[in-house]
Structure 1
Amino acid sequence: MRILLPITALLLAAAPGAARDRNAVPAATPTGEPQTCIPLRAIRESLVRSDRVIDFRTGGDRYYRVTLPQNCPGLGFERRFAYATSLSQLCSNDIITVLNQTPVMRGASCGLAPFQPVTIAKQ
């Protein structure tokens, strides 16, 4: 029993650092004017960086950063979301919904913001 206590303490002490690294938002440099919408067919990947920041990769090294107007609870932890649109574009006035894994259910719904073209700093 005595051996397990130091290991548990070590795991608990390491967890906050790991959470900070996971939630680190890489620096980004704006490369143009913000866009109201981006075509759905152009989106190759969405990278949730925190409860407020999502980077959309549209090809190669082209990224659009969306900084939500306010925190979207659970987004940075779950790192997944859904959206519904009747258009062929994702727009700044669309709503995303966090997808919780455990328990499987819908989380918070949050409004997007303009899509800022950026260059992401190498990590």
Structure 2
Amino acid sequence: MRFQTTIIIASALAAGSVAFAGERKSKDDKYIIETVGEAQSCINRSRIRSTDVIDDQTIDFKMINGDIYRNNLPNKCGGLGFEEAFSYKTSTNRLCNVDIIRVLSQTGGQIETRGACGLGDFQQITKTKKPKTES
């Protein structure tokens, strides 16, 4: 028997992540990002603690052991960076590069799905805060 599970992930907007001029600053501006090892095609869903949507093409999956796996989607996913919320369905306990996410949008108190986007490979990364520069 195959089980299909739907997972909904919604991230709160990070304070200060939107510039006054209307352009969005990258959440990665204050970090040094380094890759660890080879990219993987799948990660275990039960090990995901939280997610952080970086932009329309990048999602960080934070694992319960503290590891971070970055997924660079092969194509931009319209609205993902703005909404910072998505859902996915899998039939196994693994989230893989062949799976599809759907951007979630809240309109008039209702949650609606927007476009569907494919995932890419999962690359383990480390994030280190950049030293503050004096100006």
- TM class by shorter-chain length? 0.7 to 0.9
Alignment of 1:89 onto 2:98: no
Alignment of 1:62 onto 2:72: no
**Judging changes above 3 Å, is the alpha-carbon distance between structure 1 residues 105 and 114 closer, same or farther for their aligned structure 2 residues?**
same
Instruction: Output the aligned Cα RMSD.
Output: 1.7
- Aligned residue in 1 for 2:35: 30
Partner SS state of residue 76, structure 2: coil
Q: Please, what TM-score do these two structures have when normalized by structure 2? A: 0.73
Partner SS state of residue 93, structure 1: coil
What CA distance in whole angstroms lies between the structure 1 residues aligned with 2:114 and 2:90? 18
Partner SS state of residue 20, structure 1: coil
8 Å contact kept, 1:61–1:119: no
> Which segment drifts farther, 64-73 or 24-33?
24-33
Structure 1 portions without partners, runs of 5+: 1-13
- Aligned residue in 2 for 1:45: 50
Partner SS state of residue 16, structure 1: coil
Task: Give the share of equivalent positions with the same residue, in percent.
Answer: 42
Flag the structure with higher helix content.
1
Letter in 1 for 2:113: R
Structure 2 portions without partners, runs of 5+: 1-18, 131-135
Q: Deviations over 1:78-105 (max 9, x none)?
A: 0000000001100011000000112531
- Aligned residue in 2 for 1:20: 24
Instruction: Count matched residues.
Output: 108
Report the CA distance between 1:54 and its aligned residue: 0.2
Partner SS state of residue 72, structure 1: coil
Q: Please, what TM-score do these two structures have when normalized by structure 1? A: 0.80
What CA distance in whole angstroms lies between the structure 2 residues aligned with 1:92 and 1:56? 13
Flag the structure with higher strand content.
2
**If you compute each CA radius of gyration, which structure gives the higher value, 1 or 2?**
1
What CA distance in whole angstroms lies between the structure 2 residues aligned with 1:99 and 1:70? 17
